[in-house]
Amino acid sequence: MPSEARLRPRSVRTEGYDGMDPGMRARIWMRSVHTGEYYGVAGQTIAGIAFAAGVLLVWTGFALTYRRFFAKGRANETVDR
């Protein structure tokens, strides 16, 4: 049976924000901006609107694909110029 010491998680290393290199700090900042956490309710609202716009684009893409390939009963329409 394993000893109790091996079952407890332990931290290998902790590092504060000031000790990180600028690239890691920028990455952490960009993640919080991207998810809307950095700017609070306004940022989350903008992120939600962007998400809804993305869902709408996917939905219309599927609808156009269905209409183009799977719609039955319509004649093959050509445009005369």
Tens-place pLDDT, residues 7-66:
777 777 777 878 889 999 999 889 888 888 888 999 889 989 999 999 999 999 999 999
78 inside domain = no
Distances (CA, A) of 76 to 67, 73, 80: 13, 9, 13
Higher per-residue pLDDT: 81 or 31: 31
Domain span at residue 64?
Answer: 41-70
Contact, 25 vs 17, CB < 8 A?
yes
Higher per-residue pLDDT: 53 or 6: 53
Number of domains in the chain: 1
Instruction: Provide the token pair at 33.
Output: 């901006």
d(CA 21, CA 7): 33
* Confidence at residue 81, expressed as pLDDT on a 0 to 100 scale: 62
9 inside domain = no
Instruction: Provide the token pair at 48.
Output: 């939600």
Determine the Cα angle at 13 with ends 9 and 18, to 5°.
135
48 inside domain = yes
51 inside domain = yes
Q: Tell me the pTM.
A: 0.57
Higher per-residue pLDDT: 80 or 34: 34
Instruction: Provide the token pair at 34.
Output: 């991207």
* Confidence at residue 70, expressed as pLDDT on a 0 to 100 scale: 85
10 inside domain = no
14 inside domain = no
